[in-house]
Structures are given as C-alpha cells and as structure tokens.
Amino acid sequence: MRTSRRFFLTGASVLAAAMVAGQASAQDVVGDILKSSTRGNWDDQFDARTNDTNKVASTLPIFSQQTVAFTEQAVAQYQNIVTQGGWEQVPATKKLQLGDDDPDVVPLRKRLMVSGDLPQSAGISTAFDSYVDAAVKRFQLRHGLPADGAMGKYTYAAMNVSAQIRLGQLQTNLQRLKEKAGTLGSRYVLVDIPGAQIEAVENDRVVLRHTAIVGKIDRQTPIVNSKINEIIVNPYWNAPVSIVRKDIIPLMRKDPNYLKDSHIRLFAPDGSEVDPMTIDWSTDDAAKYRFRQDPGNNNAMASVKINFPSPDGVYMHDTPQQSLFGKLMRFDSSGCVRVQNVRDLVTWILRDTPGWDRQHFEAAIKTGENTPIQVVNPVPVHFLYLSAWSTAPGVVQFRDDIYGLDGAQELQISSAQ
C-alpha cells in the first residue's frame, strides 16, 4: 500500500537536515561535513540561533542568478541520466544501515552511483560499508531528510522517485527561479514554503537564515509579494473565523474553561465584552463574536508579529511552541509563518527605524504592553514555492512538493508499505 507523506506530516518529529556542498568523491568528503559542528546546513548555522547573526555558512540567496545557472546545469545532468535509462527502484523491504551485508545493498549502490552520491570507485558489493553510509547521508542531506545513514521509509520513498519525475520537478522549479531571481529587490525577506525556511537578503547576500513553520495541507500558506510595514510588540491575537469554527468552538465544548485558561476574551460586534458562560457552545453562533487573546506568554504569537498587506490576511510571528522548529515536517500552522529566533529578524527589519535598536526592542517586550511600530523603509517580503534547485555543480536539492504544485503524485509519496 502506498502512503502519502501528507499522512505523516503531523507525526514526524526528527531533526531536519539540509545542504552539503561539493560532489561526492569518497566517504571522507561527506564525513568531514557531517562531523563538523559548523556544517553548511539550514537548520544549524543557517538558522540565526545566536545574536551573532552575521555568521552564515553560505551567503548565496536561493533566488539568485547563480542558483539559476547551477539549476540549469542540474537539468542537463538529469536529462543525461534519463536518456541513459534513469535508475532502478531500490527494494524497500528492510531497514539497511552501516555494517549490514545484504543482497539489496547492490541495487542501493547502483542507485547512489547514478545520482552521483557514491563514487564509481566504491565498487559493487553486498556490504553496507562506510562508503555507502556516507553516500546515503549525502543523499539524505540533499533531500532535507535526517542524515542518519539508515535506509528507512522516508529515504526509500525519496530514492524511488524516478529520474524522469525528478527531471520534471527541476524543470518546473527552474521556471520559478527564472521568473523571480534578480527581481526581489536589494533588501528583502524570503520564505521558501516547501523548505520551511527564511532568508533575509541584502545586496545579493544572505545575512540571516531562519527555520520556519508554514501552513498545513488543508490550511496552506499562500504566495505573497508585499512589504513589511509594521512590527507589533506584545501583540493581541484575533482568532480568524476559520480557527474559531475549526478549533476554538470544539475546544470550548470539551472544556468550558478553555478561553479563560488561554487568556482569550470574547467581544460582541458592538465592541462590548461577553461572558463565555452565556454562549451556547453547542451551536456555531459563537463564530459571530470576536475572539481576542491578550498579550503574554500564552499568546499564540508570543512576543512579536510582523505585518504586511495581504489579501489572505497572513503574517509572520513568534510562537510559544518552540519545539515545533525541531520537527522534520514543519507544516503545522493555519497559513501564517512562525519564525524561529524572530527577534533577530525583527532587529534587522527595524534597522532604519529610529529609536528601535535591539536594546529598545527587547525593553519594549519586557513591558508586556501592546506596542505597534511603523517600519521606516518597508522591507519587501516574498512567500514563494521552490521544491528543487541546485546550489553548486552536482549538488541538487529536492524537497517535498507539499502542496502538490509540481504536478506529480510521486513527489508527495513518503513510503511504500
């Protein structure tokens, strides 16, 4: 039975892996990268995890002309692979890892050689040795999977997408790159939705990278091209009607104290506050009221909200649920984008706004008071969809086509069980 990755999205909670530079020549190449405490990786130093935000492993923006050129090379590489017959399926019958000796390692070696993850000099055998271990880890890194070297369901699923489908994915995303590369401005914020990652770019160089949480399958983050014009410190959270209907009303039916415990107040259309105990929660009548959560530690947006004009009403924000940033599948929001270490990003956005350096910004948070800040020189923000690209010759990145926009069912499959 084939199981869609969408089935697993809310259940996977392992650390994400990401990029690795350079082609595979032997196990020591990948091994040095994997063992390094500062390896080039969107979830490590690419994510702004300290106040020393100038240190990023790579300053190449994902939507750059150089990425376009590398991706064009990747298309040619995969066209050649397809012309020569592509690669065969790897039997997904058992978990394989370092130290195993199994006939299924033979097709695994062949598959990894075709995609350039395993050097031809490693030879063909039944041994899952250190060369195969390094090659599997490299493959996992290129596909945004945990680099544990083990052949599990997610790795088998990614590996058994055909070369023809991968070629089509590259071609589709190359067009997206060509359309936007070089047009986003000299200073902007980019959210890559499939990768659940954020870049702050200035003068064609990435100055910050952040891990993100984006929309669920049924509550998708939309494409956005706008400008950040407001930062709200200690924001109120006004629950959208969709969340009121889908989440809050059912929760109130189960627990009448939910609103009180969550510091959410209820307001009538005329602005008067309403006692939740006077509402009949067995109906949907409550949806006509406004649900507003007070600022504080329990607020859904935590310390800060990043505003910009959007027809879909989406925005970026902090979150009290920091553990979600450690998940492999970071598709947990209702469409808005949660930002890890959001204060670093806000400091960068407010750079040209007088009176709002990092010290004053942090002081405003400590007051607990709702404080809107108008951004001087609004910063362009783009939510875009890129699931395949190349960052260097021979280093081809693939991510799940989480919203099914690439047009191939195989790109959404997670496992064959």
Question: Which residues does the annotation mark as catalytic?
Answer: 317, 336
What residues have CB less than 8 Å from 142, skipping those under 6 apart? 19, 20, 117, 395, 396, 397, 398
Alpha carbons within 13 angstroms on the beta-carbon side of residue 254 total 6
Per the structure block, which two tokens stand in for 112? 């990894």
DSSP-assigned letter for residue 90: P
Backbone angles phi, psi at 127, to 5 degrees: -90, 125
Amino acid present at 1: M
CB 47 within 8 A of CB 39: no
- Please report, for residues 155, 249, 260, 403, the alpha-carbon distance to residue 217 in angstroms, rounded to integers and kept in the order given: 21, 21, 30, 6
282: number of Cβ within 10 Å:
10
Specify the length of the chain in residues.
417
Backbone angles phi, psi at 397, to 5 degrees: -100, 135
Distance CA 20, CA 10 (A): 27
Per the structure block, which two tokens stand in for 349? 């956005």
- Please report, for residues 111, 115, 228, 366, the alpha-carbon distance to residue 374 in angstroms, rounded to integers and kept in the order given: 54, 49, 9, 19
Query: 192's torsion region: left (phi>0), alpha (psi -120 to 50) or beta?
Result: beta
Amino acid present at 343: R
Per the structure block, which two tokens stand in for 4? 């869609």
Q: Are strands 331-333 and 205-215 parallel, antiparallel or unpaired?
A: parallel
CB 212 within 8 A of CB 197: yes
